[in-house]
Chains A and B, each alone.
Chain A
């Protein structure tokens, strides 16, 4: 098993002797140490995300430990910083003030090194626990965003991406295209071979789609056997070329299933925001759906693009509307 990277500890201490003593011992305990001599310097260093453990002296020039604690807590970094406040002030009121400022722990000088080591280990455990929780949270978000069968983005997310890309496209004046994909005769596949085979086919189609789009395109499962590809900064002509490529990638090799090698084809409908005066998610979805319908009527296993004249006429009408 690979050795874990040493956790970094920031020490904010203006006294040379104390700083040296802490640095030497904390390094011996397998931590990496960053020494700072003032609250301001510590604040600059703490902006690094990997600095998660901090030992702050209370009395320091310019910004003291308590002020620094408050600043760290107000900042709300994505990752928690565990803070041990060091001080010679041992009155109950001082301890309350120190902890209330946001410190997690409090040690009275002169520091007992064994005790400091145990307190640092406690801090490290809490940081590691937080990392585990954040990782789980990330995994849950990922799971909730994905379609469990195909691994594609789910409907809600792919529509959210489309909305975001449309907004960005409008800001930066570049087109966004969508391709609606439908697996041909999918009902027949399910009826003839069962839903398990149907599921395998959907997953395999999804894989081929992902492999044949650009790295920054997004592929989602729209529902049933319908999938959606979002293509940022892509004209209708380019979207049509990508759709042709995807169509061929699915049909050119039969798909291996437990029921044997099955021929699978898809039909695709393309639409692009550059043919709308006021592009919207609904408008693009409707246009790509109409194109898909047209391609199906023409015999499937093919692509069709949204009727440009139709949307252009719409745009002209809209422009006229704005004129009056």
Chain B
């Protein structure tokens, strides 16, 4: 995550950035279920929409790898590529775990490296 970039984008309000990140993580749980359902049902339109939505939220928070994976999901939906779509959820989950680790570490030592997975 490019923390500085995200902080700058939202106007430098750190507690608000934390609130947005928590909202993102909570929403990710719900979105993951919907993504999996859409993949199981091969609902390509929904796969594309969910990928697109997640991409937007990730971009706002400067979550580069999550933005990239979401874009992959959006493209898989657009191209009706179920094989490719099936690969993305685990990638997303992996990146979310890395984000959680980063945020936890940041809480413990606020001066730690501010960029992950770039």
Contacts and interface: CB of A to CB of B under 8 A. Distances in A.
A59 B57 contact: no
B69 to A, nearest CB: 15
Contacts of B20: 17, 20-21
A18 B19 CA distance: 12
Given A59-B49, A113-B10, A16 B27 contact: yes
B57 A16 contact: yes
Interface in A105-140: 109-113
Contacts of A18: 56-57, 60
Interface residues of A, number: 17
B23 A88 contact: no
Nearest to B26: A16
A88 B55 contact: yes
A121 B19 CA distance: 27
Given A88-B52, A109-B60, A25 B23 contact: no
B9 A24 contact: no
Contacts, number: 48
Which of A14, A15, A111 has the most CB atoms of chain B within a 10 A radius of its CB? A15
A85 to B, nearest CB: 13
Contacts of A111: 60
A112 B18 CA distance: 19
A17 B61 contact: yes
A18 B27 CA distance: 12
Contact of B56 (A15, A25, A61, A112): A15
Nearest to B24: A17
Interface in B1-44: 9-11, 16, 19-20, 23-24, 27
A110 B52 contact: no
Given A18-B57, A18-B60, A20-B19, A110 B49 contact: no
B43 to A, nearest CB: 12
A21 B10 contact: yes
A110 B16 CA distance: 17
B96 interface: no
Which of B11, B16, B60 has the most CB atoms of chain A within a 10 A radius of its CB? B60
Contacts of A59: 49, 52-53
Given A20-B20, A21-B20, A111-B60, A15 B11 contact: no
Interface of B: 9-11, 16, 19-20, 23-24, 27, 49, 52-53, 55-57, 59-61
Given A88-B59, A113-B10, 12 more contacts: A14-B53, A16-B23, A18-B56, A18-B57, A18-B60, A20-B19, A21-B10, A59-B49, A109-B56, A110-B59, A111-B60, A113-B9
28 contacts: A14-B53, A15-B27, A15-B57, A16-B23, A16-B57, A17-B20, A17-B24, A17-B27, A17-B57, A17-B60, A17-B61, A18-B56, A18-B57, A20-B20, A21-B10, A21-B20, A21-B60, A25-B11, A59-B53, A61-B49, A88-B56, A109-B56, A109-B59, A110-B9, A110-B56, A110-B59, A111-B60, A112-B9
